[in-house]
Chains A and B, each alone.
Chain A
Amino acid sequence: MATLHLLSHSPFSDGRFNSCLPLLGDTDALLLAGDATYALTAGTKPATELEQLPEQVALFALEEDVQARALGMLPTRVQLLDYAGFVELTCRYERINSWL
Chain B
Amino acid sequence: MKFVIALFAPPHSPAARRALRFAEAVLAGGHEIVRLFFYQDGVHSASANVVAAQDELDVAAEWSRFVSANQLDGVVCIAAGLRRGVLDAGEAQRYQRPAANLAAGWELSGLGQLHEAAQQADRLVCFGGQ
Interface residues of A (CB under 8 A from B): 6, 8-10, 16, 33-35, 62, 83-84, 86-88, 90-91, 96, 98-100
Give 5 A-B pairs besides A6-B125, A9-B129, A100-B9 with Cβ atoms closer than 8 angstroms.
Answer: A34-B130, A62-B18, A84-B28, A84-B29, A98-B125
Interface residues of B (CB under 8 A from A): 1, 3, 8-9, 14-15, 18, 21-22, 24-26, 28-29, 31, 123-130
Of B3, B14, B126, the residue contacting A98 (CB under 8 A) is B126
A84:B25 contact, CB within 8 angstroms:
yes
Of B25, B28, B31, B130, the residue contacting A8 (CB under 8 A) is B130
A91:B1 contact, CB within 8 angstroms:
yes
A98:B29 contact, CB within 8 angstroms:
no
B31:A87 contact, CB within 8 angstroms:
yes
The interface residues of chain B lying within 8 Å CB-to-CB of A62 are 18
Q: List 13 A-B contacts (CB under 8 A).
A: A8-B15, A8-B129, A9-B129, A83-B25, A87-B31, A88-B29, A90-B125, A91-B1, A91-B31, A96-B124, A96-B126, A98-B125, A100-B128
The interface residues of chain A lying within 8 Å CB-to-CB of B14 are 8, 34-35
The interface residues of chain A lying within 8 Å CB-to-CB of B21 are 83
**Bound: A35/B9 CA distance, A:** 15
The interface residues of chain B lying within 8 Å CB-to-CB of A88 are 29
**Taking each of B3, B15, B127, B129, which has the highest tally of chain A beta carbons within 10 Å of its own beta carbon?**
B129
**Closest beta carbon of chain B to A57's beta carbon, Å:** 20
**Bound: A84/B28 CA distance, A:** 8
